Structure 1
């Protein structure tokens, strides 16, 4: 009979207890991740959706509406522009952001009524050039 199946006549509790004892004797619990460490969030207030939040965090997923996510990416890109070393890098970054914005604008997902507008690439590139041309002060 298979070791993975509960034998007829044995209670579920004794079957589970036996399997746990056997696994423990074989050392299968000796090197589990987090062994000897506190359980994360154990002292936080009870949240019935904790597992959903944890799953989203572990999978790198977001439930933020696409327009809000696009707005956040737009702001991050504009903050990054001054540190970029070439006009080509600036244009690539802004084109990628504008594509994200276009996708958000045509998304069927619910979001704020006031959307996010694409970046005027030529204007930002011009500002980037001007900042590069200004003499750096010590």
Structure 2
């Protein structure tokens, strides 16, 4: 053992001498850069590697607010008005359920707004008419569109409707 060499350093040196570190995956490739100005660089990289959305880590009330901000545009893919109404009623029910949840601590809770179902249905109809007019001018939707990318995600109501129809 060399002077001032610890047991761990000796193990590493001996393994290197035996060639145990040769032909490791990624050998010869540069290390990915680390953004040292961002203390959360490692979690951002892990989420990107795993294909996770940071919005999924939000508290429920903020997820609901985010969902409401997308209405009625996020409902354009729904073809039946009753399904749109059901989705909006479900959203309102989830908002009310979140409001009834007990709050811990002295801070006032973040509240998500309920939506006016009729107002959103009117907006949904207007957007559907715009989409239909655009499709009649440019051809059927998806003719030149290669489809969703692997990174795109299905909305919660698409998953819910698929699960509901499979019952």
Judge same fold: TM > 0.5, yes or no.
yes
Q: Is the 8 A contact 1:94 1:119 kept in 2?
A: yes
The Cα offsets for residues 42-101 of structure 1, whole Å up to 9 and x where unpaired, read as: 3x3433443344455645455534322211111123222244322144234324433442
- Structure 1 pair 15–65 and aligned structure 2 pair: CA distance change class (3 A): same
Q: Is the 8 A contact 1:67 1:101 kept in 2?
A: yes
Does 2:86 align with 1:86?
Answer: no
In 2, are the aligned partners of 1:66 and 1:109 still within 8 Å (CA)? no
Render the CA deviation track for 1:1-45: whole Å, top value 9, x for unaligned.
xxxxxxxxx9221112333554323x3x1x34x9625514x3x34
Q: What is the aligned-residue RMSD (CA, Å)?
A: 4.0
Identify unmatched segments of 5+ residues in structure 1. 1-9
Aligned counterpart, 1:70: 64
The TM-score, its normalising length taken from structure 2, stands at: 0.48
- Tell me the distance in 1 between the aligned counterparts of 2:20 and 2:92: 54
The answer to whether the 8 A contact 2:85-2:121 is kept is yes
SS at match of 2:21: helix
